Structure 1
Amino acid sequence: MQLSVFVLVLFCLCLSVYGNNKHDGSIKHDDPMLNTETPNYKEYCVIGAGPGGLQIAYFLENAGRDYIVFEKGYGAGTFYLKYPIHRLLISINKRNTGKTNKEFNFRHDWNSLVSHDESLQMTKYSKDFFPPADVLVQYLNDYATKLNLKVQYNSTMHDILKRKDGLFQMWDQHNNAYTCKYVIMATGIATPNKPEFPGSELVDGYEDLPIDLDEYEGQSVLIIGRGNAGHETAQH
């Protein structure tokens, strides 16, 4: 379990931010005022309220740290309102392992986050081996609510910069400034991987695929890529 948590934390720290620079430029990044004011200061700023962001928030909450989670959506796990597009997770939900060891059983539950609340387990939310994505959305929102995690929704952060005094500063879509000592990125992979090749402009991306099977009747279909999305699409 310790190794799994370490990998999750490392994954969150290594993710990148995607999006355009939206700051209006009225505040210069080298302005000395940025070294004297600390608007809306938090020691830890976590960006993204998906599984990674919420898991980090849980540990920060239990450690009594000063933190906030920024989420651009109106709730936790909004990524899973669209993906996977065929609406079944590919992470297993094995409710019966034949064992009584909790650690062993938890290793066969690929969806639940770590917490002290045993009611917050996906095995209690769905009996399906591959649960519906909508169930995971409900689970993540319950996780954030029941554990009193400090999540600020409808907050799109941009222009993250490191000031001369070593603090980070950023702004939301309303140009409200926030300052923090540490930034943890948990935004996930937000842009599709679109390889370029002759004719690639004619290809439909996974993110735009219709799920109505009538759309494919009598058609020859070529799937480029044999990762999870490719296999999910082929099975559908």
Structure 2
Amino acid sequence: MQVSVFVLVLFCLCLSVYGKNKHEGSIKHDDPMLNTETPNYKEYCVIGAGPGGLQIAYYLESSERDYIVFEKGHGAGTFYNKFPIHRKLISLNKVYTGKTNKEFNMRHDWNSLLSNDESLLMTKYSEEFFPPADVLVQYLNDYATKLNLKVQYNSTMHDILKRKDGLFQMWDQHNNAYTCKYVIVATGIAKPNHIDFPGSDLTVPYEDLTLDLKPYEGKNVWILGRGNSAYEVAQHIMGVTNFIAMMA
């Protein structure tokens, strides 16, 4: 039976920090050993090398703090290697403001991070009002490299726990232990929030959408959600669809 209505669901994304405890049964969270050993100690542990993690790292570096940034990807800002799926940012990059005041211009630059290096501005990387997502990835990696930020890539952290002595301890995917006084979680949007409801098995989540317009031609499309990604998709397909309904 042919389905006349192409149903599309854009799922919200949620943050998942802890996950299943891989050490359950072998290391108890109140084990005395966790109060006597401090493997790979850093005062600050930042999890995630996206815009938030890198901005925090800049201030920690500038203040000469003892810190490390853990990033599960092979480079900075790897989230933006896939998202947004239509590869255009929706954050402003207004190069020509008619003003020379740096503070005024920064208010029209929604992508740049703060630093003392004026070459590290997104307006130096693209003149497009909505830059390509790939440009942001390049910018974030240059930001981390040029400012000598201490980022450890290919490190997926799990089992974050607080010890009796007040320190935090965690492990990477190779079961190497790390200890720190402060943990800053900067993972941002981590996992899709798949909503279960009657008919949800007939929907297509945002992360699996095709950019091919052929499946949408002449169809009625229902978009669940009215956030940024919802409007992004609606704008992409509106030229070939019969009707688009958005529900929040």
Aligned-pair CA distance for 1:21: 3.0
What secondary structure does 2:79 align onto?
helix
- Paired residue secondary structure (1:139): helix
Alpha-carbon offset, residue 220 of structure 1:
2.2
- Which string of whole-angstrom CA distances, capped at 9 and with x for unpartnered residues, describes residues 180-224 of structure 1? 000000001212233333212211111111111123223321111
Distance 2:107 2:16 in 1: 28
Q: Say which is worse superposed, 191-200 or 178-187, in terms of deviation.
A: 191-200
Moved over 6 A (4+): none
Tell me, yes or no, if structure 1 residue 74 matches structure 2 residue 74. yes
Separation (CA, whole Å) in 2 of partners of 1:203 and 1:150: 42
Identity %: 82
Deviating more after overlay: 223-232 vs 209-218: 209-218
TM-score, L = length of structure 1:
0.90
Do structure 1's residue 83 and structure 2's residue 83 form an aligned pair?
yes
Distance 2:72 2:173 in 1: 9
Q: Which deviates more from structure 2 when the two are superposed, residues 147-156 or residues 192-201?
A: 192-201
Partner Cα separation in structure 2 for residue 63 and residue 77 of structure 1: 23
Aligned to 1:126: 126
Unaligned runs of 5+ in 2: 1-14, 237-248
Which of the pair has more CA radius of gyration? 2
Distance, in Å, in 2 between the alignment partners of 1:69 and 1:223 is 37
CA offsets per residue over residues 152-207 of structure 1, 9 Å max, x none? Answer: 00000000000000000000000000000000000012122333332122111111
Contact kept, 8 Å, 2:68 with 2:151, in 1: the verdict is yes
Amino acid at match of 1:76: A
Partner of 1:51: 51
The corresponding residue for 1:107 is: 107
Q: Do the aligned partners of 2:48 and 2:187 also contact (CA within 8 Å) in 1?
A: yes
User: What TM-score comes out, normalization by structure 2 length?
Assistant: 0.86
SS class of match (1:160): strand
Q: Secondary structure at the match of 2:60?
A: helix
1:28-62, Cα deviation, whole Å (9 max, x unpaired)? 22210110110000000000000000000000000
CA distance in 2, matches of 1:191, 1:27: 27
Write out aligned runs for 1:142-153 (5 A).
142-153=142-153
- The separation in 2 between residues aligned to 1:95 and 1:79, in whole angstroms, is 25
Does the 8 Å contact 1:97/1:105 carry over to 2?
yes
Contact 1:18–1:191 (CA under 8 A) maintained in structure 2:
no
Structure scoring higher RCO (CA < 8 A, sep ≥ 6) equals 2
Task: Give the match for residue 3 of structure 1.
Answer: none
- Could you tell me which amino acid in structure 1 is paired with residue 222 of structure 2? L
**In structure 2, C-alpha distance between the alignment counterparts of 1:162 and 1:21, rounded to whole Å:** 14
Kindly provide the amino acid, as one letter, of the partner of residue 31 in structure 1.
D
1:1-236 equivalences under 5 Å are: 17=17, 19-23=19-23, 25-236=25-236
Flag the structure with higher helix content: 1
Give the number of aligned pairs: 222
Superposed CA RMSD = 1.3
Q: Find the aligned partners of 2:133 and 2:87 in 1 and give their Cα distance.
A: 5
Distance 2:64 2:57 in 1: 10
Where does structure 1 lack aligned partners over 5 or more consecutive residues?
A: 1-14
Describe the SS at the equivalent of 2:191: coil
Alpha-carbon distance between aligned partners in 1 of 2:214 and 2:220, rounded to the nearest angstrom: 13
